[in-house]
Amino acid sequence: MIDKIAGSLDFYQQALGLRHQRQQVLATNIANADTPNYKARDFHFAEELARAAGPDGNGNRGLALSTTSARHIEGGLQSSGAQNLLYRVPDQPSLDGNTVDMDRERVAFADNSVRYQAALSMAKSRIQGLKSAMQSE
């Protein structure tokens, strides 16, 4: 019963976790804007979310352990770590080998924060919905 409630919130948890992780990656890029030879990183949010949410899109991970006996403990990836950190392609390479484009990073950061808030308010309304469904009157 409780796991059904948890399951209905799982998707938002994944989305928020990934948004937060992307926030970290972008913050790293901005922090290292003056570090020689630093290469800007990012990941593809939609792909990572699809991977994290699993084939049924409901939090059942695509990388679950296969169980051959009813007494096997079900395993799954617990950390929502993005595995595919990619490198940004610079359009104006600089002499010191740094590929951070401040404008792009700031735009991406603002975009990501707004989307984080959007995911947050959707999770909020989901919780509200569950709450009002459980109300006695």
CB of 10 to another protein, least distance (A): 15
- For another protein, which is the closer residue by CB, 20 or 72? 20
- For another protein, which is the closer residue by CB, 8 or 28? 28
Supply 81's token pair. Answer: 């770590």
Task: Identify whether the C-beta of residue 121 lies closer than 8 Å to the C-beta of residue 46.
Answer: no
- For another protein, which is the closer residue by CB, 30 or 77? 30
CB of 59 to another protein, least distance (A): 17
- For another protein, which is the closer residue by CB, 38 or 50? 38
Q: Is 79 left (phi over 0), alpha (psi -120 to 50) or beta?
A: beta
CA distance 74 to 130: 27
Supply 29's token pair. Answer: 């890029």
Q: Which residues make up the interface to another protein (CB under 8 A)?
A: 16, 20-21, 23-28, 30-36, 38, 41, 79, 81, 85, 102, 106, 109-110, 113, 116-117, 120, 123-124, 127-128, 131
CB of 72 to another protein, least distance (A): 28
CA dihedral 41→42→47→49, nearest 10 degrees, is 120
